[in-house]
Structures are given as structure tokens and as C-alpha cells.
Chains A and B, each alone.
Chain A
């Protein structure tokens, strides 16, 4: 069922589109999109001027039919591929449920929409399926030496909040080893809503996987908004820069990670979240 979501529309239009435009300036016909645009392909429609080829994934068969009609109305049927199945399985197996492989070996714009959260999808043994999918994506991107922008939209899954807490404690220990006392900051995160933990956790994971594949996280942003039916959502933007010389790319500063502002997207504007953790004093590691 199509329901418009103004904050998400705003992010697509005012945040994501300018980033794509700037990154691929004057080379839009070669830009390949891979993602889960949904039946109405709202992101593709918004970014159409900056996209060359579109690979659209959905596991809902009726959505694929509607997507096809949307692509026809956008007159992009000759530059769109539809893949059927879970995006995680497609990235891991490099083929969809109909044994069809993506028509491009790497992507320039990746839009992943994990409504249920980055963790906790599927059975317990399979709970990191989405992280694995991101790992496979980066491996493919490295093999093709392709820098890209990744948009990641995730919901919250309380079930695995322990994992977020564990990672925050680990960051605190790392900073402690460097002689910095981050305890007040870490405690602040524990006492605040989970969106703040995710703001730290997700970029930390993406940076780790990225560095293992010679990608430097050039820039990232994170936004909080209320999605359809007021479900809280997080939207991340990652600019992943590949370099053959990035044998050991610079890691994301842990202090910067904890200090990074969280933005909140409303109906018609974006503003910085007024709640911010206390700063960590001392030199940045």
C-alpha cells in the first residue's frame, strides 16, 4: 500500500539527491543504482537525472509488477533490471530467486532499506545476515575498484540492543587505552534512546568492513525520522572511497564517532538533535 512519508521524501530530495549530484557530476549516464526502491520507486524518481542504470530489488511479486509499471511511466524500462528476492541473499549469492545475476558488476549508488533493523533479521544463527550482505557488497565493490555512495535506512530492533551496548563499551575501552576518559560520554549513550547508540554502531561497523576492503569512509551523516505509522527510523549516508593505495585506510576517529551530531528530519525541515553527549576531552585518537 502506498503511503507518502514526508520526512523520508525530504531526505531523498534535500539530502541524498545533492550528494549524488555532487559525487558523480557530469557522469550521470554511467551511474548504476542498486537498491530497494519499493513499488513506486520514489528514490529512483527523485534521483533519475543522476542515474544511468537501475537495478531494483523486491521480494514481493506484486511489487515487482507495480515497479515495472512505474519504470514504464518513468520511461526507463530499457535501463532497469528487476531482481526478485531478499536483498541480503542477492548480495551474498550474487543472483536472485530466479537465478538472475545483477547486470552490473558493481554499483555507484546503493540504497538499502532494512525496515526491521540492521541486526536480528531471521533466526539467531542468521542474525548478522544483513551485516554479511554489506560485507559481500563491499567485497564486490573492491574487486571492481568502485567507490560508491551507500544509503542505509534501518529500523530499531530492541532484541539485539546488547550488541550495540557491547560495541559502545568496546569504544570506551579503546579510548581508555589512549588515556582518554570517555566514561561520561558512554554512560550518556546508555541513558538515552537507542537511536543515539545506532548513530555510533552502524558507522563503526561500516567503517570496519570498509577498511578491510580498502575503502575509506570519506563522509557520513545520520538522520532520525518517523517513518510510516510513526515507526522510528534511521537514515545513514556513507561515501565510500576506494583506493588501491588504501592498504590500511585511516579509521574513523572514535572520538568523532561519539561526537558526530544526529540530525532529525521533520515534515519540511532537518535540524540537529538538541540532545548531545558530553564532549571527550583530550587529543583525538
Chain B
């Protein structure tokens, strides 16, 4: 028989003002998150605002938006604590904390709002200092009596010509000493660039195509807002213009789309120089979750982390089961999150490795083509050693070019064609220079040794492993760059050296073949 239970009766005296502190604490690890809350409250509106203005000065912050605004019922709802009419899954705001987000930050919050066709403006006056004093009383004050004392409202009649006007303005006044960082315009600009679903930087060439892709893929989750900070527009990264056209795709598991992404790679050699542009970032409903390290650490091993710096992009999470945690630094732990992370590791890990390998292959091929084009038609060798070195270099170059032109190489077709032309040119150059020049063949002691070298490479290489090791050095170094597996490549290098010294590998082709198969194993 089930045990009989009795109900408690709760009243005003059961809920202390401490609750206010508890529910707002999570926001203050980075005080700028408070601004994000007010901005997201504005963006959560339907329809969202076209433009949001943020102004900071010596000691106050103003956030205004031309969203739908509120009438009296709206402001009554807004002053409730921990309640929200918003659907948690459809909106960004922080679980009903709404207008109280800035309580710890400042001494006073004033929010004025007007709804279209409503003849009145309504203003909410929040005495944050009073609330904090009550909290510091040691929890002896009830939340309701503190709210009644410190939260007020007033109304003003609008002139008839402003009947259609709508919007909301929030002032955070007398910012506390500990949180003055939010008044630093430069830091705030960086924060907003990184966090808010802003319009893309106008200098970003692929912005229209990406915006169009996101609008189509994200449907109702697609949010973009124009924002001005102290009258100057704020844009979203990337702030670097040398980027290849975007790669887009979906991250799915069991046929369900978890996220969509776009990635652009640096069209120049090396890392994307702007640290605020490179890497991948999570977004949910347009707002950032975590920072540029959050995704990287999911799927790139330590040795491959550098690859993320060659690309930039965003991963927009669409799965309703994935909710950002209170600080919005990651998604709340859940089976859905595990699923997302596994899928990201699989899809983006491959995508980014491919991009990096391709980038690396293109870069090396371009260098080799340039080298081949630079081979002099009638070379002049000062010494016999020069001639040998020149010929050896050309053969090394030819090996590389042959790799570039292989069918499974990642080079684009135009570059492959160029590499084929460069291969022919290099082969012809080697043919025409492989005979010992007359001036050197007249010297008896060198005559025996040097001309033989190109004619009988197998024999020579067995006898002179140093020359072979030099060749292997470059090849292994290339492999390391392509794959990112530094430790493994060092092992392979040592292994090859042992095989060479033991005479187990006796010619170039054997070494090359072994290296290729090992690289294939590594990347698979």
C-alpha cells in the first residue's frame, strides 16, 4: 500500500531574495553576457528588430531595438522572475531571467517600450541597488517584498503621430566598478562580433552565398540583425578576404540533421592571419556557443590542431535536443550532444584533413611547377659537383611532379595539366644533361665515378646510402606536412634508414612505393 503524502503550502515567506542572485550568477563570469541577454531578448521577438543600437559611455549602457515592443501585459510578463512565455527551443533568452539579467552589473535599469498602435509608452524601473541590498541582508527578505519595493513602472502618452512607433530601449546605469570592462568599446565590439548573429563583414566575398545557404537550411532558426555600437556598424567574421569559395554541408546521424556548416579555406599559403577569423565556431539560433576552440578540441588530435587555422567557418546546430548551457560555453551534456560530437568528428575531421592535404598538395605542386619552368635551357655547370647536384635535384623534382600528376592526387585539373607539362619539360632537361659534359670528362679521376651515377642508380645508391637518405628526408618531411602525423613520420624515417643500411631496400622505386603505402595507411 502506497504511503500517504501531504502537500506543503508555500507562500511569500518561502521564497527569499537569494533566489535572484542564484539565477543570475551564471551570466556574470563574463559580464558582457549580460548584454547578450538583452540583445537576445530583442531578437527573440516576432518580428525581430531590423536594427539594434548599443551605446556605451562613461558609466551607462543603452541597448535599443525597433522590435514590436510591449504593452502593459508585456511589461507585466517581463517583470516575472523565472517565467517565460517564450518557447525555450525557439528562443535564445536565458530561461525567464529576461530584464533581470543586468541586476548585478549596475545600480539601476530602466526599460522603456512601446507597442505599435498602443498610445502609451511603458517604463520599467529596476532599482538594482535596492535588490542587491536586500540580497546582502542575508536572505531575510522575501523575494516578492523585495521585488515590490524595487521594481516599479510608469507610463507616458505618445503624441498621435507616433501611434505606429514601436521598440524597446534598455538603459543599464551606474555600472559597478567590477564590471567596468563592459564599457570598453573595443572589447565590447570584439565580443559582439563573435557572439551575436550579425550581418557578415561586407568585405567577405562569399557572404551572400553563405547567407542564402543558411537561410535555406536553417529556416526559422536563421537570424541576422544589423547592430551598431556607438553609431558604428558591427559585423561578423571573417575579417579576411583571401578565402576560397565556401564548402557547405550537413552533419547528420541516423538520417536526422544535427547541424549545417560552411567552411572557407585560406586561398593564400599558410594560416589565416586574423585570429578572430580563423577556425570553426558553433552557433545556435544565430548566437555563438563556446569559442573557436570548442569545436577544434572535439575532433582534431593535438598534432592536427594547426589545420584549423587554415580555414574559417561556422557550425549551426539545428537539433532541438541540443541546448546551450547557462553560460553558453558549450551544449548541455546529453545523448544528443554525444551524437553531435561523434558526427562532427567524422564529417568535419575528414573535410578539414582533405582541405589541408589538398592545400598542401597544391602549394607543393605550384612550387615544383615553378622550379621546372625555371630550369635553364642551356645550363652552365662550374664544376663536376655542380653538374651532379643539378642532375640529382632535377630527378628529385621529377619524382615530385610524377606524384602530382597521379590520378588520385587532390590537385585541381588545371594544375594537374601544368604539372604534366612541367614533368615533360623536366624529363627532357634530364635527358639532355645526363651525359657528362666534355670539360668534366677530360679529368681522369672523376671520369670513372660521376657519369656512372645517372646510368646505374641502383648500384650507386646501395653504395652511397647518404645520397639516398637525403632524398628520403625530403619525402618524409613532405609526408609529415601532408598528414600531420609528426611522431609516426619520424618512426617511418628511422625505419627506412634501417632498411637502407641493411640493404633491404635497394632502389628508389622500392622506397617510394613503401612511403606511399605507409602514407595511405596513416591517412586512412
Contact = CB atoms under 8 A, between A and B. Distances in A.
Interface in A1-53: 1-4, 39-40
Contacts of B112: 62, 64-66, 68-69
A69 B64 contact: yes
A4 B111 contact: no
A85 B261 CA distance: 49
A42 to B, nearest CB: 8
A110 to B, nearest CB: 21
Interface string A177-217: 00000000000000000000000000000000000000000
Interface string B137-170: 0000000000000000010111100100101010
B171 A65 contact: yes
Contact of A65 (B59, B123, B162, B174): B123
B231 A77 contact: yes
A66 B121 CA distance: 7
B125 A61 contact: yes
Interface in A85-116: 95, 98-101
A65 B53 CA distance: 13
Contacts of B125: 61-62
A173 B24 CA distance: 70
A182 B81 CA distance: 71
Contacts of A78: 228, 231
A16 to B, nearest CB: 19
A174 B180 CA distance: 58
B20 to A, nearest CB: 21
Contact of A72 (B64, B110, B123, B231): B64
A84 B174 CA distance: 11
Contacts of B60: 84, 98, 100
Of the four ranges (under 10, 10 to 19, 20 to 34, 35 or more), the interface on chain B belongs to: 20 to 34
A4 B160 CA distance: 10
Contacts of A77: 53, 64, 228, 231
Contacts of B111: 65
Nearest to B110: A61
Interface of B: 53, 57-60, 62, 64, 66, 108, 110-114, 121, 123, 125, 154, 156-159, 162, 165, 167, 169, 171, 173-174, 228, 231
A4 B121 contact: no
Contacts of A1: 156-157
A229 interface: no
A79 B123 CA distance: 24
B123 A40 contact: no
A73 interface: yes
Given A70-B162, A99-B58, 14 more contacts: A1-B156, A2-B157, A39-B121, A61-B125, A64-B110, A65-B110, A65-B121, A65-B169, A66-B114, A66-B156, A69-B165, A77-B64, A82-B62, A84-B173
A113 to B, nearest CB: 17
Nearest to B66: A72
A73 B166 CA distance: 9
Contacts of B162: 40, 69-70, 73
A16 B231 CA distance: 29
A99 B64 contact: no
B58 A73 contact: no
A2 B231 contact: no
Interface string A221-245: 0000000000000000000000000
Nearest to A95: B58
B179 to A, nearest CB: 14
